[in-house]
Amino acid sequence: MASKSAIEARLSEACASLEIPGVVAIANTKGKFTRIYSTDPFKVTISTDGFDFAEAFGINSLKEGRARQPLELNSTFYLASATKLITAIAALQCVERGQFTLDEDATRLLPEFKDLNVLTGFDDTGKPVLVKATKTITLRYFDHSQ
């Protein structure tokens, strides 16, 4: 396991070389939970109370004309597509607990997915071409070659 000083050195180096612009690194071995604050679905602020390690490295932006400020522990970040990972983990935990399986029809839990249309392309005017789904939606990987 890397030491705290080795982790700090590597993150500082990565930010100084602009391998990454900045990072807020937090670690918890005390078994306490953190709080995530959000007033905007694409921005989150994480409370670092109760963490063993909490450090900010680097700057807040690489955009031209924008003032570059050092990151802070309470810096706010924009998140995009981050819910896929959280949803996948939650779904697999439910499978592990036996609450549903990878192969069962997902509409038992998500009835709004019943009778979905599938986008197959666009016509000459740019209008979407939709057809009724013919396969059951499940959590398992779907082989598109079939």
Q: Which residues are catalytic?
A: 81
State whether residue 2 is helix, strand or coil. Answer: coil
Q: Which residues of 120-137 are buried (b: 16+ CB within 10 A; e: fewer)?
A: eeeeeeeeeeeeeeeeee
Distance between CA 79 and CA 63 in Å, rounded? 17
Q: 10: Cβ–Cβ under 8 A, 6 or more apart, which residues?
A: 2
CA-CA-CA-CA torsion sign (131, 136, 141, 144): negative
The Cα-based distances of 99 to 21, 65, 111, 130 in angstroms read 41, 51, 16, 33
Distance between CA 52 and CA 40 in Å, rounded? 28
